[in-house]
Chain A
């Protein structure tokens, strides 16, 4: 009975924590800025940081949940159109999951850095592939621009826009995340006693 109560309460605590991290994540989406040399619809923001934190503290699934909350919120308050929101969700998963899987396997600062590099590469290549086969065709259907679905146009968009954009985004988020995580860790270590 005691045991049962305890798991119930830590489950609720995590649920609430993921919800709050998702909210912070959504708010961070509004602090976005375009990159000078890329198309203006590709904007960089720090909204993957909270999901990354959840994924490293708990599990890759936790990161996915925070990404889900963030994107659903964004959709519900009317901040984005469905295709863009779905693309952001997929990019978030492709970034957060590899980082946290590597981190949980080898724990430590080195594995975090190599995880962030792997995550960036997986996200950039994965989003390139998904854009080519899924997202750009969806946009061209949604906006009635058959021109956008022509293979050469898609190639140009992927090579000239999507790949560099996601690579830069991964690097920027990683550069921000390392000091944040380093500063939070001592505090969280103390906390962990009450969390688990």
Chain B
């Protein structure tokens, strides 16, 4: 039951990556994903690997936990590598598997592309590992602020996201409770053919929706009783602040990018 409540990857901590402003992290990751496609030499890949693995270690999250979070993509990475081995025909024949030739170019390209894919996933997952969902929401609200000019409801979206995040554990618990109640009446969720499993979801969804409606009414009333009146003039409990640490991180990242372009072929 308890481990059902843990959804999402966030690991609280106090490393310097944890303490960075979420906007800094989002900006760096955004540009990392863009610039990684420029790497094309051994040295440039080396620099990016050093940066990614270094950042991952700097979070002081257990390496085994980070690796466990990447399990769904290991298969894809391996698949990409094998596909390149079979398809690419550059360079000399290195050796033969039975009679199928494996080229040196295939090994090099397969490794490079699997590495790039691995680094992409690793760095993007560092954001959700070290930043609480509520911080990410605040950062998104802040970064999207300019869109207010074209009447995009930034505040409303952020409010919806915070409410959603707040209610994930509550609704999960409720789902659990309802499914237990229905199971005690003989509904079977886990086995049987697809058709029966679909039908089993109906008695789960109906009470869930009804309670969502009731909850929404209560929450709306409670918010209005406390004087909620939209985003205008609302103050925040958590203020985002860019500190010296963020400037250091940004500077380091810019140096890495410069180094990437210097070592490029």
* Chain A complexes with chain B: yes
Contact present for B133 and A12 (CB under 8 Å) = no
A46 is contacted by which of B76, B161, B201, B230 (Cβ under 8 Å)? B201
Q: Is the CB of A8 within 8 A of B230?
A: yes
Q: Which of A77-130 contact B (CB under 8 A)?
A: 77-79, 81-82
Complex contacts, A27 vs chain B, CB 8 Å: 7, 168, 171-172, 175
* Cβ-based interface call for B219 (8 A): yes
Question: B27 near A: Cβ within 8 Å?
Answer: no
Residues of B with C-beta under 8 A to A184: 206, 209-210
Shortest C-beta distance, A181 to chain B (Å), equals 10
CA distance A9 to B230 in the complex (A): 10
Are the CB atoms of A23 and B171 closer together than 8 Å? Answer: yes
Cβ of B165 within 8 Å of any chain A Cβ, yes or no, is: yes
State the Cβ distance, A101 to closest chain B Cβ, in Å.
22
Report A-chain residues with C-beta under 8 Å of the C-beta of B10: 77-78
Which one, B129, B137, B156, B228, contacts A76 given CB within 8 A? B137
> Do A73 and B164 have beta carbons less than 8 Å apart?
yes
Known contacts A19-B163, A19-B164, A79-B8; is A12 also within 8 Å of B208 by CB? no
In the assembled complex, A165 has its CB within 8 A of some CB on chain B = no
Q: Is the CB of A53 within 8 A of B220?
A: no
**CB of A24 closer than 8 Å to a CB of B:** yes
* Interface: A135 (CB within 8 A): no
Closest to B229 in A: A8
Residues of A within 8 A of B213 (CB): 17, 188, 191
A16 lies within 8 A of chain B by Cβ: yes
Interface residues of B in 182-231 (CB under 8 A from A): 194, 197-199, 201-202, 205-206, 208-210, 212-213, 215-217, 219-220, 223-224, 228-230
Are A76 and B161 in contact, with the CB atoms below 8 A? Answer: yes
Q: Enumerate B71-100 residues with CB–CB distance to A below 8 Å.
A: 76, 80, 83, 87
B124 is contacted by which of A23, A26, A73, A81 (Cβ under 8 Å)? A81
Q: Complex formed: what's the CA distance from A141 to B209 in Å? A: 40
Q: How far does the alpha carbon of A5 sit from the alpha carbon of B171 in the complex, in Å?
A: 29
Residue of A nearest to B110 (CB): A144
Residue of A nearest to B223 (CB): A12
- Interchain nearest-CB distance for B52 vs A (Å): 16
- CA gap between A69 and B212 in the complex, in Å: 15
> Taking the nearest CB of chain A, how far is it from the CB of B96, in angstroms?
22
Cα–Cα, bound, A40→B25 (Å): 32
Residues of A with C-beta under 8 A to B219: 16
Say yes or no for A51: interface residue by CB 8 A criterion.
no
Q: B113–A145 contact, CB under 8 A?
A: yes
Distance between Cα atoms of A17 and B64 in the complex (Å): 39
Known: A78-B8, A78-B128. A23 touches B164 (CB 8 A): yes
Q: Judge whether A38 is part of the interface by a CB distance below 8 angstroms.
A: no
Assess whether A73 is in contact with B80, with CB atoms less than 8 Å apart.
no
Q: Is the CB of B209 within 8 A of A50?
A: yes
Q: A24-B171, A50-B209 known; A15 and B160 CB under 8 Å?
A: yes
Contacts of B201 in A (CB 8 A): 31, 46, 176
Q: Is the CB of A12 within 8 A of B224?
A: yes
Judge whether A58 is part of the interface by a CB distance below 8 angstroms: no
In the bound complex, how far is the Cα of B156 from the Cα of A175, in angstroms? 33
Q: How far is the CB of B203 from chain A (nearest CB, A)?
A: 9
Does the CB pair B80–A145 fall under 8 Å? yes
Q: How far is B168's CA from A12's CA once the two chains are assembled, in angstroms?
A: 19
Taking a contact as CB atoms closer than 8 A, the residue among B120, B209, B215 that contacts A53 in the complex is B209
A13 interface contact, C-beta 8 A: yes
Which residues from chain B contact A138 at a C-beta distance below 8 Å?
Answer: none
Q: Which of A23, A50, A53, A147 contacts B83 (CB 8 A)?
A: A147
Alpha-carbon separation in the docked complex, A42 to B220 (Å): 38
**Contact across chains for A143 and B80 when beta carbons are under 8 A apart:** yes
Give chain B's interface residues, CB within 8 Å of chain A: 7-10, 37, 69, 76, 80, 83, 87, 112-113, 116-117, 120-121, 124-125, 127-129, 133, 136-137, 140, 156-157, 159-161, 163-165, 167-168, 171-172, 175, 194, 197-199, 201-202, 205-206, 208-210, 212-213, 215-217, 219-220, 223-224, 228-230
- What 6 new A-B contacts, CB under 8 Å, besides A12-B228, A76-B8, A77-B7? A19-B164, A21-B212, A24-B208, A27-B7, A180-B202, A180-B205
